[in-house]
Amino acid sequence: MSLFKALKPEFLNYSAAESGPFKSLFNFRQLWRSRIIILLCVALTPLICLAIFTFLVTKHDAEREIHLRTIRLASNAKRTISFFFEERKAVLDFIVRSNSFEQINDYSQLSNILQSLKDSIGGFTDLGIIDATGRQLQYVGPYNLQDVNYASEEWFKEVSVRNYYISDIYLGFREVSHVIIAVKHSSPNGLTYVLRATLETKRFNEIISNLNLSGTEDAFLINKQGIIQTPSRSHGKITEKLTLPVPAYSERTEVLEMPENQDRKIIGYAYIPETSFIFMLIEKKSELMRPWRSSQEVIIFFIALAILVILAVIYRVATHLVNQVFLADLKRVQTLHEVEQSSKLASIGRLAAGVAHEINNPLAIINEKAGLIKDIFSYKEEYKNDLKIIGLIDSVLASVERCAIITKRLLSFARHLDVSIQMVDIKSVIEDVLGFLIKEAEYRSIMVNLDIEDNIPQFETDRGKLQQILLNLVNNAFAAMQDNGHLDIKIRLLEEGFVAVSVKDDGSGIPEADLKRIFEPFFSTKTKTGGTGLGLSITYGLIQELNGKLNVVSKFGVGSEFTIILPLKNTIATKGKNK
């Protein structure tokens, strides 16, 4: 919360109403918000778009790579398995072609062939010769299958038609899986017979287990009915039905995705040619995507970091820019108020001057007429000693003089609104200012003490501005004081060519919290009683224009002392009409 306060821009506390209706050109809150939104859009949109694009493209590539890898593995397995069967089928074909029926139908010869097959290729369990009627003519192997008739067996019918046959895998008596391969041969003398061999699938299973699969991958064979043919890690035992549907036939190796719980499975499969086997490679997609996900996490971390940096920079830049506009607008509004104030004063001055002029002429007539009456009475013997008449005329003349002083003061005040730099006697300025307020002081029984050092020289400054400064300060002091208050005005000559004017009252004083804000424009504790909050701000500005400075010492409930320090020699640019 305190961090937010520290980062909160100053202008968010500013209300346009403080400067008056229609005075502020901008809604800074809205301006700041819109700048931040625009900058965010400009900076983050490309970044986010790029991030999303990269995410989607790399994900697509990663998935494609996974599919290709699965297809590659499945294709390799397909080729190997296919070669396994092709090789054994070719061996059997070679045996029947290279041996006559008589030779192959000889028990000892067939036993020798079986032994040779076991020694060279391995995995052969038995061999049998079956004639065209399905009767097993000769058998070498561990079982007693001599003279067994296979005429009604499906495999025999199939080998009769297709010339070869590769069976599904089945479990023998010892629960060892086997597969049967049979080839048909017709000799030149018209004799047709079948060589049938039983193979253990141990070698076959080794081929599949040598596919370098990771822990979560599973590879096995099923037949076209979905019966599992080779050991599976997680999809069932041999001869059990696979829970997944049998994939559609395709000559090529294919890959497909299937949902599984909250994950997806990647299934690569290949139909093994000339057999009923389908090679299945089943992988968990989440496992295969793990490397891609890791790289994405790193990228997302850096993007998030970049967004944070961008947010901080945008906040700082937008706040700084809007703050500059805010300060410029504040200055503009203050200047506007100063111009209004100055214009108001000038209007009042012109009005006062006009009134004074109009009054001065009849006043001059009264003065001359009364003077003439006095002259006549003074020169005529019968009236010369009439003290009452002379006293009455003197009273009229004194009143005229009093009026003249008032009109001259008004004219003087108005005159100095126009004139800029001149030699100023600060004592006369103070007296002029107090002249306007002395009646109020009398009515409110405020004691005004004026203490001016004798050695204060006249100095070059703007009399009008000095008048306004002193009038503002004395007015403020009067406003702060109760009746019977004390106002002390002291003028001292400082070293190094400065003069200090202090205006000290025993009024309400200023709370310490407000003390540092009293020169801010529109800061006022008297808004409810018509204060504009501009008096001290304008005073401060005027003192700065005179190359002076203003110090304030105040204690709440005790009183305040404002001290103006002005240079005796001024370098203010002169303007106006003085010659």
Partner 1 sequence: MKILLVDDEYELVSTLAERLSIRGIDADWVTSGEDALAKLTETNYDLAVLDIKMPRLSGLELRKQIQTIQPNMRYIFMTGHGSAEDFFSASSEEGADSYLVKPVNIDDLITKIHESLARRALGSTGHSE
Binding site for partner 1 (CB under 8 A): 353, 356-358, 360-361, 363-369, 371-372, 375-376, 379, 400-401, 404, 408, 411-412, 414-415, 418-419, 576-579
Q: Residues 377, 386: contact at Cβ < 8 Å?
A: yes
Considering the complex, what minimum distance in angstroms separates the CB of residue 409 from partner 1?
10
Angle between helices 28-98 and 202-209 (to 10 degrees): 150
180: tokens are: 């049967």
Between 357 and 384, whose beta carbon lies closer to partner 1? 357
Residue placing its CB nearer to partner 1 in the complex, 4 or 379: 379
Q: Which of 139, 122, 130 is nearest to 157 (CA)?
A: 130
Question: Closest CB to partner 1 among 429 and 473?
Answer: 429
- Cite the DSSP H helix spans in 124-226: 154-162, 202-209
In the bound state with partner 1, the residue whose beta carbon lies nearer, of 411 and 437, is 411
Q: Which residue, chain included where needed, has tokens 């009399």?
A: 463
Beta-carbon contacts of residue 425 (< 8 Å; ≥ 6 apart):
458
Angle, in degrees to the nearest 10, between helices 290-379 and 387-418: 150
From the centroid of its chain, how far is CA 93? 76
Q: Is 134 exposed, middle or buried (0-12, 13-18, 19+ CB in 10 A)?
A: middle
Q: At what angle do helices 535-545 and 463-480 cross, to 10 degrees?
A: 150
- How many residues in total does the chain contain? 579
Minimum Å gap between C-beta 398 and partner 1 is 12
Closest CB 411 distance from partner 1, rounded Å: 4
* Nearest distance from C-beta of residue 368 to partner 1, angstroms: 4
Closest approach of Cβ 461 to partner 1, in Å?
16
Residue bearing tokens 């937010």: 4
Residue whose CB is less far from partner 1, 366 or 553: 366
Q: Closest approach of Cβ 417 to partner 1, in Å?
A: 9
For partner 1, the closer CB: 171 or 364: 364
**Smallest separation (angstroms) from partner 1 to the CB of 373:** 10
In angstroms, what CA-CA distances link 411 with 197, 343, 418, 432, 516? 138, 17, 11, 11, 37
Provide the H-helix boundaries in 263-289: 285-288
Smallest gap from Cβ 414 to partner 1, in A, equals 7
User: Which residue's CB is nearer to partner 1, number 77 or number 414?
Assistant: 414
For partner 1, the closer CB: 413 or 540:
413
CB atoms under 10 Å from CB of 128, counted, come to: 24
Nearer to partner 1, 93 or 418 (CB): 418
Is 177:221 a contact under the CB 8 Å cutoff?
A: no
DSSP, collapsed to helix, strand or coil, labels residue 150 as: coil
Q: Minimal distance in Å, beta carbon 39 to partner 1?
A: 55
Amino acid residing at 26 = F
